[in-house]
Every structure is written in structure tokens, then in C-alpha cells.
Structure 1
């Protein structure tokens, strides 16, 4: 019963954040989710309470979707990826899609599980709210509000191999960054993409 109440409370918090109903508090030191292995989150003057996501306004500028999987990453992140192949044909369609969505697949076709797949697409606030709420309620994702947007994440043990799998999503200004990974989580990966798109 406590898990059900916690999931409901998290869904209500996420609803308030995405609909711009005002500042929210993720529960202080007991309720703020810890960063996953995907990266360490740090912001100037950060406290236990996340900053509230701003309400969308008519003056919000449209963000162009990127077209280059390497250009969205910092030199540090690229060095962590090393010689991992990018967008090998063995994994199917990647790169820029017909609708402008960018799919980046960092994986070696010879590896059984090590991979990182990021999709950057346009998504309006309503569908984003529904999707992120469903992840909180149904799958136990933790969400918080860094960098002027909403970030949701979860990690779990791979069912077949002794490695960590996970998923990190970040939504802001009608752009969704959705990354799924297995045994490949460079430090600062999502933050590098956010900085490239929004700064």
C-alpha cells in the first residue's frame, strides 16, 4: 500500500512540474532521487530541493533538433565512448529520420549487451506529461527538475548479464531526449546533450 501511495504522490508531483502549476519540492533530502550511473548531476548552488520547471510561454523559442550524434557531446564524453562504433548498420535505422528525429546508437555489433541508444525528438507537453507520469506510476522511475526541464530515470540489473541497464529521459521546450543503455553510461552524457541544445 505504501508503494502505491508513493507512486501516486510522485505522479502528482510530476503533473505539477510539467503543467507549470508552480514550484515543487521533491521531498528534501529524503525525496530527492540520486543520480544514476549515467552521470553525476551538479549545478551551481544546488541544494536538496530541485528547481521548478518554468511554465511554457508563447515566447519560448523553438529548439531545432540536432543532426549530428558527435556534435551534441562534449570532448570528455566522446573520449569516454572511445572507439565504440556509432550507428552501425547492424542495429537498423539511425541518424536523422524523415521527421527530423535524431537516433544515435553507440554499440559494437560484436558485443552481446554493451550499448547506448539516444533518440532526440519533438514532443508536446501533453504527450510528454502522459508518458512521464506513466513511467513514474507504472515502472517506478524517479523524476526531478534540473536544467529548466524534467528528467526521469531508472536503472536495473540486466536479466542475462552482470551489468547495469537503464533509461534516462529529459524533456524541455517540446524536445525529448530519451536514452536507453546497457553497460555503457559515460559520465555527463545527458548533461552534454542538454548543454548543446539549450545553452
Structure 2
């Protein structure tokens, strides 16, 4: 039996069918790429997250009625001259009417004695008071006394105090060409009160306990303003 020899094999790359398959694959890949690019091109980039929230804004709280602005600068008070010693704020000697109280005894010099018990008023006096006159017990202690501060105020400070006192429980009224604000109470320990007189940049602040001679503040006003 005679065998028929095999025909020579044609290389794959020379076969038309191979290139048809390759072309179809490349075309499919190109279509996929175009579709993907078209879909992504229509989207906007995601915004990056913020690193901090906006800070809310609010108005600063107003000063409470019991807290007038503190001041350590007396500013430029009026031209009214405040006496440099207690003798200059009276037109007469008040000792006989004050039941044996002594003016500024030695022990009182180092004590924080103010012409008010009100926290807001003391805050202002700490920066503006130029004179303190304390009628108290010579040996110290006791529940009887009268303490006066004379302070120099700017017009703004005077207006601030005139607006402050009514809100702090004082009764205010016009007197002797100025504004006077008073408060008085009776407790188990007796009577106590305060008188604050404001005029032309001068503040006469007086606190008293169980002694309140008639005309005391009027006399100080007469001595300072004439």
C-alpha cells in the first residue's frame, strides 16, 4: 500500500482567518474603551471633604447690670478740684453727731473700706477713688460707722454709674444740680444704707450703718462745689 505524503503546513500568521479574529478582538477592545471614557467624562469630580465646620458667629454678651465696666484709669475727669484730705470735704466738724466715732483711725488705713457694699460700685471706685474718709470705732470692729469715698469720673464713667444704680436697686433723683441714688434697709443688725451723688465728674459715695446724720451728703456737696 502506497502512502500519500502530507501537504506542507501553512504558517498561522499567513492564514486569513487569523487576522480576521485579531481584527475582531481589537475592534471589541476599542469599543469598550470608548464606552468607558464616555461614561466617566460626564461625571464631575467628587468634592473633597471640608476639614473644619464654619465657626458660628454671635453677639458678645452685654455687661450684666450688676457689673459696670472695671477701670483702673481715672481718665480725664472734670475740672472740679477734689480735696486731698478729709478736712476739705466738710464745712464743719461732724464728730459730735457721730456718737464718738473717729475719722480714719490707724487700724483703718490698711483696711479695704469702701463707700459701698455693691460689687459693681466697688469695681469702679477701685480705679477712680481719690479720697476715703471713714468714721469708725477707734478700737476697730463694731456695727456702727459711715464711710465716704470721693472719686473723679470722666463724663462716660459718670453716665455709666447713673445708668447702673437704678438697675442695682437704688432710687435715683435729681438734687443739688446733680444725681443722687440711695438705698436703705433694716435688718436684724439694725439699719444700713448708701448714698451716691454724681455731679460734674465728681462721685461722692457713702455707706453707713446705724448712723446717718441729717445733711451729711449736702455738707460734702457744699464743701466741694461751693
TM value normalised by structure 2: 0.53
Q: 1:86 to 1:147 in 2, by over 3 A?
A: same
Distance 1:182 1:189 in 2: 14
102-111 or 113-122, which deviates more: 102-111
Distance 2:196 2:129 in 1: 18
Aligned length: 136
Q: Does 1:196 align with 2:223?
A: yes
Report the structure number with the largest CA radius of gyration. 2
Q: Does 1:70 align with 2:108?
A: no
Please, which of 179, 191, 194 is the counterpart of residue 150 of structure 1?
A: 179
Question: Is contact 2:129–2:149 with CA below 8 Å preserved after alignment?
Answer: no
SS of residue matched to 1:67 = coil
Q: Does 1:104 align with 2:133?
A: yes
Distance 1:98 1:133 in 2: 18
TM value normalised by structure 1: 0.60
Correspondence list, 1:104-143, <5 A: 104-108=133-137, 109-137=139-167, 139-143=168-172
The aligned counterpart of 1:183 is 210
Q: Which runs of 5+ in 1 are unaligned?
A: 1-10, 12-60
Whose RCO is larger (CA < 8 A, sep 6+)? 1
The aligned counterpart of 2:192 is 165
SS of residue matched to 2:206 = strand
Q: CA RMSD in A?
A: 2.8
The aligned counterpart of 2:51 is none
**Which contiguous aligned blocks of 4+ residues in structure 1 show a shift greater than 6 angstroms?**
97-100
Question: Is contact 1:169–1:178 with CA below 8 Å preserved after alignment?
Answer: yes
Higher helix share: 2
1:151 Cα offset (Å): 0.7
